[in-house]
Amino acid sequence: MHRRSVLSALAASVTGAYFNAPLATSSTFQRALSDIALYDGGKGALESADDEDFWMQVQQAYSVDRTIVNLNNGGVSPAPRSVMETFIRLTQQANQIPSYEMWRHQESHVETVRHELASVFGCSAEEVAITRNASEALQTAQLGIDLKPGDEVVISTQDYPRMLAAWDQRAKRDGIVVKRVKFDVPVMNADDVVDAYRAAITSRTKVLHASQTVFLTGQILPVGKLCALARQHNLMSIIDGAHAFAQFPLTRDAIGCDVYGTSLHKWLSGPIGTGMLYVRKDLIPSIWSLMASNSGQEADIRKYEEIGTHSAAMHNALSDAVLLLKSIGLERKAARFRYLHSLWTEEVGALAGVSFNTNIADPANQCAIVNVHIDKVDHVKLSEWLLSKHRIFTVAITHEQFNGLRVTPNVYTTVHEMRRFAQAMKEAVTTMPESIIDKKQ
Ligand SMILES: Cc1ncc(COP(=O)(O)O)c(C=O)c1O
């Protein structure tokens, strides 16, 4: 059935009010969305980026506080209603007879979730561990590989502070050497990033660590080339995909990494407290688990899930999040993010004094996150002004190389909300209220 006719059939059958309706209707909606096509390799994705009939249904899939325009989905994202319903239902079920319900029933269903996540990443389920967040996933590798004093790790100054802290702790504890490479903001030539990493590699280098998307700016880095560089030099590649996985199309094969860690409570919209670790199958025996696992589990990806008693509802509800992702389709989702950003970057970017810390000119460089800079403005104060005056929530970013405002919508963000933001930003730039001026400049 054609997408529009599915939607009109849906609208007729559920009178446009899916989520006030009982659960049976909710699965009707999910099924209908699933029929609409999805991993379609881009076919139709661009044309549907502004199809508000479609996106209205996605907006309704979330129950969020619309009294504040949330443009800080980079920190953590809300889970859609279907995920919350499953999470709450399973938690209540488990609470009846926890050790029976959770361990005899719910826990084994994690295998379905493992397969689902592997199908999104394009790897074997035997290479996917479900963690509590990206920090746990990445630190499993960072702290779990054997390194000797003097061994070197290359990372960048724009990686996530907790990941930098993990390597710094190893430097203090194990005597390894951490090299932080620097690259320009915005990145205008992806090869400059590869060259910066290449220049830092020596005969002692053992690990190359990079973010697929820089959390500060939303800049997408050439991780395929970085992993190829790592292979050339026989280094382990660890890719931080916290802001990439489930945001835009990517696969393990296109990246070619040894280890990949991501949050699932950001772009997958999983329950808050979920993440994923990918480890290439043949490397599993050589990477220790963060918490001690059992003898016999050395080559089993499940050793990374040996964390003691935890909520099975949390990871099992991820299957609903994967369903919504597949229903939307990654090409379509990425196209929507770029469209939502175009609603404000074109107008605001044309004003004097406005520039971008993200290379927004090239879709290969940017997707859901854009970082904007306004001359003479204190971005912390601007963020406060947007919240207090316009009820728009963003985050100010200060880095040794730049500062700006990070703007991150999500699939539930409306065109109207982006236009409100555009208006507010135009007001800020053209009237320059006293309260947002950077007095130190
Ligand atoms: C690039 C990057 N890596 C890792 C993390 C840590 O993610 P989590 O809080 O899920 O552990 C974040 C969080 O924002 C991030 O942006």
pLDDT per position as a tens digit, 354-373: 999 999 999 899 999 999 99
Ligand 1 nearest atom to the CA of residue 136, by list position:
11
**Residues 235, 162 share a domain:** yes
Q: Look at 1-10, 133-142, 329-338 and tell me which has the smallest mean pLDDT.
A: 1-10
Ligand 1 nearest atom to the CA of residue 137, by list position:
11
Ligand 1 nearest atom to the CA of residue 75, by list position:
14
pLDDT mean over 220-242: 98
On whether residue 396 sits in a domain, the answer given is no
On whether residue 441 sits in a domain, the answer given is no
DSSP label of 406: E
Give the DSSP letter string of 208-255. Answer: EEEESB-TTT-PBP-HHHHHHHHHHTTPEEEEE-TTTTTTS---HHHH
**Residues 155, 14 share a domain:** no
3-state helix, strand, coil in the chain (%, to 5): 45, 15, 35
Q: Does the CB atom of residue 77 touch ligand 1 within 6 A? A: no
**Residues 18, 129 share a domain:** no
On whether residue 327 sits in a domain, the answer given is no
**Residues 155, 27 share a domain:** no
**Residues 112, 214 share a domain:** yes
pLDDT digit string (tens) for 91-138?
A: 999 999 999 999 999 999 999 999 999 999 999 999 999 999 999 999
On whether residue 347 sits in a domain, the answer given is no
Q: Which domain holds residue 210?
A: 96-322
**Residues 236, 150 share a domain:** yes
Is residue 33 pLDDT above 50, yes or no? no
Q: Does the CB atom of residue 219 touch ligand 1 within 6 A? A: no
Cβ contact 357:185 at 8 Å: yes
Task: For residue 441, name the pLDDT band (cuts at 50, 70, 90).
Answer: confident
Is residue 45 pLDDT above 80, yes or no? no
**Residues 125, 3 share a domain:** no
On whether residue 397 sits in a domain, the answer given is no
pLDDT > 90 fraction of the chain, expressed in percent and rounded = 88
CA of 305 relative to ligand 1 center, distance in Å:
19
- Longest Cα–Cα distance in the chain: 67
Q: Does the CB atom of residue 237 touch ligand 1 within 6 A? A: no
pLDDT digit string (tens) for 297-309?
A: 999 999 999 999 9
CA of 420 relative to ligand 1 center, distance in Å:
28
User: Ligand 1, atom 7: nearest CA belongs to which residue?
Assistant: 134
Q: Model-level pTM?
A: 0.91
**Residues 152, 19 share a domain:** no
Which of 77, 130, 135, 139 most suits a substitution to test ligand 1, by most atoms within 8 Å of the C-beta?
A: 135
pLDDT mean over 18-33: 36
pLDDT mean over 271-287: 98
Task: For residue 144, name the pLDDT band (cuts at 50, 70, 90).
Answer: very high
CA of 241 relative to ligand 1 center, distance in Å:
9
pLDDT score, position 43? 52
pLDDT score, position 272? 98
Ligand 1 nearest atom to the CA of residue 265, by list position:
10
User: Ligand 1, atom 14: nearest CA belongs to which residue?
Assistant: 75
Q: Does the CB atom of residue 408 touch ligand 1 within 6 A? A: no
Q: Does the CB atom of residue 261 touch ligand 1 within 6 A? A: no
Is residue 187 pLDDT above 90, yes or no? yes
Q: Look at 26-30, 48-52, 235-239, 250-254 and tell me which has the smallest mean pLDDT.
A: 26-30
Instruction: Write down the mean pLDDT value for the chain.
Output: 91
Is residue 27 pLDDT above 50, yes or no? no
Phi then psi for residue 417, to 5 deg, are -65, -40
**Residues 157, 281 share a domain:** yes
Domain boundary among 322, 352, 370: 322
**Residues 241, 117 share a domain:** yes
Q: Does the CB atom of residue 134 touch ligand 1 within 6 A? A: yes
Q: Does the CB atom of residue 218 touch ligand 1 within 6 A? A: no
Ligand 1 nearest atom to the CA of residue 213, by list position:
1
CA of 32 relative to ligand 1 center, distance in Å:
33
**Residues 303, 154 share a domain:** yes
Ligand 1 nearest atom to the CA of residue 159, by list position:
1
When divided into structural domains, the chain yields a total of 2
CA of 263 relative to ligand 1 center, distance in Å:
6
- Among left, alpha and beta (phi > 0; psi -120 to 50; other), residue 296 is left
Domain boundary among 274, 306, 322: 322
Q: Does the CB atom of residue 183 touch ligand 1 within 6 A? A: no
On whether residue 185 sits in a domain, the answer given is yes
pLDDT digit string (tens) for 47-96?
A: 889 999 999 999 999 999 999 999 999 999 999 999 999 999 999 999 99
CA of 51 relative to ligand 1 center, distance in Å:
31
Q: Does the CB atom of residue 160 touch ligand 1 within 6 A? A: yes
Q: Does the CB atom of residue 240 touch ligand 1 within 6 A? A: yes
- Residue 125, domain CATH: 3.40.640.10
**Residues 256, 138 share a domain:** yes
pLDDT mean over 383-391: 98
pLDDT score, position 47? 80
Domain boundary among 322, 346, 364: 322
On whether residue 234 sits in a domain, the answer given is yes
**Of 176, 166, 169, whose CA–CA distance to 202 is shortest?**
176
Cβ contact 119:269 at 8 Å: no
Task: For residue 44, name the pLDDT band (cuts at 50, 70, 90).
Answer: confident
Residue at token pair 């080559």: 299
CA of 160 relative to ligand 1 center, distance in Å:
7
pLDDT score, position 24? 32
Q: Does the CB atom of residue 215 touch ligand 1 within 6 A? A: yes
Is residue 149 pLDDT above 90, yes or no? yes
pLDDT score, position 81? 98
On whether residue 150 sits in a domain, the answer given is yes
Q: Does the CB atom of residue 406 touch ligand 1 within 6 A? A: no
pLDDT > 70 fraction of the chain, expressed in percent and rounded = 90
Is residue 32 pLDDT above 80, yes or no? no
